[in-house]
Chains A and B, each alone.
Chain A
Amino acid sequence: MTTTIGILGAGKLGTVLAQLTTAAGYHVLIAGSGHVAKIQLTVEVLIPAAVPTTIAEVCHQADIVILALPLSKYQTLSPAALAGKLVIDAMNYWWETDGNREDLTNTHYSSSEQVARYFHKSHVVKALNHMGYHDLFDEPRLQGQPGRKAIAIAGDEEKYVEETVKLVDRLGFDPVRAGSLADSGKMEPGSAVFGANVTKKELKKLLTDFSKTKYGQ
């Protein structure tokens, strides 16, 4: 059976992820914040193989849900609607869209730990957050192709991390494990990994070097 991927957020990241997931052969549903009509044409032209629908339908039908909306907006989603699902958190704190939010910038918890606490009945994995959307569009390569770029993945439940590893690989990137959600601070804005469009080897090095950086102390 084809896995259904649901993407919440139909902006820059959401549309590119929908392009990648449809190209990888998944069945893809996508929703923005408003009426389906608002994204209908965009989806028709940019992602003809994806289905534009409502947030509720995405949550209901998808096997895997990717969060591609502003971080400050995740609490508008219903945790119950996503219960039992793998939820891939691709969100980052960005003050220009999210405003100055102390709760989202504290250094005690990674933003994904907060997201996981909110979606406590789901299985949250952090991934696809650190590469710019234009690079995500430009860089997919087949397994083993030279210069294939890597994506960091962090999560607490092996089964779901493994599922995300497979997904990332199918999208055209080398998956690199980056530890638990508590460790995912090293993929956030301000870290050496944030913005990284590099190979597996380099990404691993950046993740290891984290403890030596300003944010790593």
Chain B
Amino acid sequence: MTMDSRQIIFGIDSFGDLPQNEDGKLMTQAQAIRQVVTEGILADNLGLDVIALGEHHRSEYAISSPETVLAGIATQTKKITLASGVTVLSSDDPVRVYERFATLDALSNGRAEVVLGRGSFTESFPLYGYDLSDYNLLFEEKIELFTKLLTEKAVTWSGKTRAALTDVEVYPKTERGRLAARIAVGGSPESVVRAARYGFPITLAIISGSPKRFVSYVELYRKAAQKFATQAFPIGIHSHGVIAESDEEAVDLAWKHIRKSFVRIGKERGWRPMGKAQFEKEVKNGSIYAGAPETVAQRLAATIKQLDAGRFELAYGAGELPVQARLKTIELYATKVVPRVKELLAKE
């Protein structure tokens, strides 16, 4: 199923991390949201294929409502796909998720994409009054309903986690007849099988460790799709990175910022801070893509080839990365890295 390298999709991902501005001060959440809109427009101008924005409910991230920010980007861009990454379906209402993204799809002339998943945090559960221990039931029921809503036909559904629907039409209808939708998964094999069972494309969130670990997950996805007689789509990948003119500068930024965000999150979970050796391993052949354009391109090409992926999304801006470094990352990624990755993959 090897992809034509020209068709590989490249995107950027943000959670609305608060950047430092030029004088080293942290932007407000409102500024950070406007910054993401600026970056979305830049990405579109530079020809990137996707911007994906994740839902969070935490002080260091400004985006709790990705589709609203995406709507802001929609009316000022032409081609770029406007995706969430992720929408926490289990603590949301599938009907409203459909409605919001179908609205975004209208505003953007058919460029909306909803990416469903659990994400790496759990704040949305208590916030919206759900019990995390019901996660599997919530996701299972809601994905079932959402799959029906995606047909854009009258829906009949009943379950334990929301009110039943009998022959209900949900609006607006899209012009394409179907919203683009995928499921993002982390390290749980069960989620991979489930996504295949419902016939969704998957994005693998590869946050740490070697991408190699996921080779068998890709096989699992394809075998599961075969078993359930659903379609297996090209795989997407989401990982962190920062690109600068030199390797040294990029690695330094990654240490100061990407590592900082990992340490902060890890601390809440009782993990010891990531040490130098672990960090270097992640940069060398793990899941932090930090370097000059050629370095990052070589590593990305290797990962894409290893996982036979059809899409890569670079999470940029973690850990208060300064605004100039964010813009530089996007620019170098779009103008240098992406063309070079395509070239490297075409050679083979």
Which A residues have a C-beta under 8 Å from some C-beta of B?
10-12, 15, 32, 38-39, 41-42, 44-46, 92, 94, 96-97, 99, 132-135, 137-138, 188-198, 206
Contact = CB atoms under 8 A, between A and B. Distances in A.
Contacts of B188: 11-12
A42 B188 CA distance: 10
Contacts of A12: 186-188
Report the 4 A-B pairs with minimum CB-CB distance, sorted nearest first: A189-B270, A134-B209, A195-B271, A190-B270
B151 to A, nearest CB: 26
Contacts of A44: 223
Contacts of B208: 132, 134
B227 A135 contact: no
Chain B interface size band reads 20 to 34
Contacts of B213: 134, 137-138
Contacts, number: 80
A41 B190 CA distance: 10
- The CB with the most chain B CB atoms within 10 A, among A39, A42, A92, A133, is that of A42
A42 B209 contact: no
Contacts of B219: 45
A39 B212 CA distance: 21
B278 A197 contact: yes
B266 A41 contact: no
Given A41-B224, A133-B187, A138-B209, A198 B275 contact: yes
B270 A188 contact: yes
Contacts of A191: 270, 272
B109 interface: no
A189 B269 contact: yes
A132 B187 CA distance: 11
B209 A94 contact: no
A79 to B, nearest CB: 23
B133 A99 contact: yes
Given A137-B209, A137-B213, A138-B209, A42 B270 contact: no
Nearest to B274: A195
A15 B209 contact: no
A194 B270 contact: yes
B181 interface: no
B177 interface: no
A45 B132 contact: no
B90 to A, nearest CB: 13
Nearest to A147: B277
A15 B270 contact: no
B118 to A, nearest CB: 10
